[in-house]
Amino acid sequence: MSYKTIYQEAQDSFIEKKSEFIGHIAPVKTADEAVAFIERIRSENRKARHNVYAYILRDKNTTRYSDDGEPQGTGGVPVLDVLQKAGLTDVCVVVTRYFGGVLLGANGLVRAYSQGCKIAVNAARIMEMHECSRFEFSCDYNLYGKVSYILPDFEVIKEKEDFADVVNIAVMVKSELCKAFREKLTDISNGQIELSEETNLEADFA
């Protein structure tokens, strides 16, 4: 199982026919977190004419959006569409509009709100999260060369590598590779390496 989300909040802005559009994006896990983010952006932009939003959650496969006073279908749907095409989940985007006095028309609004979401996504750090296990083990220096040689084959994230009387190693391994990883370490060490495994974790392998 894997999914794409973002690391932390980000934002960017642009001007379209005197209207300023500000795209805000945040990682969220629940509807309550998404609503809290939306309300915070609204409170920080009280003079804005519109705060259009959309969010997608893994929790209960939740999808919500709002045009926030813009003509139906010109705000929330384009923002949601950008998120879906980017393959993102557990994210919320609010596109704030400070009206500049020039009407954009329905097509212009769709383009502007899409662009507001795109620049927010582009400003964020994308993470590719995978279900994984954390392995801790020790090996002597004679085995270390063999171990370090095979680690790239399993796309591991190396968390620890301490050199003392023995080498103490901790790595994150995608769930689908864990069985092969255990077998390979057993094979190259003739069963000398004892593994400690913590399961049901998630990590960014992007």
The beta strand positions in 32-85, using DSSP E, are 50-56, 63-66
Q: Are residues 6 and 86 in the same domain?
A: yes
Give the residues of the chain that fall short of pLDDT 70: none
Which CATH number is 148's domain given? 3.30.70.240
- Give me the number of domains the chain comprises: 2
Same domain, 37 and 107: yes
Verify that 10 and 111 share a domain, yes or no. yes
> Do 48 and 103 fall within a single domain?
yes
> Is the domain of 134 the same as that of 117?
no
**68 and 142 housed in the same domain:** no
Q: Of 124, 140, 171, which residue is a domain's last?
A: 124
Give, in degrees to the nearest 5, the angle at Cα 31 between 30 and 35: 125
Distance CA 145, CA 41 (A): 52
Those residues with Cβ within 8 angstroms of residue 15's Cβ, 6 or more apart along the chain or in another chain? 21, 100
Domain that includes residue 30, residue range: 2-124
Final residue in a domain of this structure, among 124, 156, 171: 124
**89 plus 135 within the same structural domain:** no
Amino acid 1: pLDDT: 73
Based on the fold, state whether residues 119 and 175 are members of the same structural domain: no
Q: Which tokens belong to 27? A: 């990682």
Q: What pTM value is reported for the model?
A: 0.82
Residue 12 sits in the same domain as residue 109? yes
pLDDT at 205: 85
CA dihedral 11, 14, 20, 24 (to 10 degrees): -10
103 and 140 belong to one structural domain: no
Question: What pLDDT sits at residue 2?
Answer: 87
Domain closes at, from 124, 152, 185: 124
Q: What is the pLDDT of residue 195?
A: 94
The pLDDT assigned to 101 comes to 87
pLDDT tens digits for range 35-83:
999 999 999 999 999 999 999 999 999 999 999 999 999 999 999 999 9
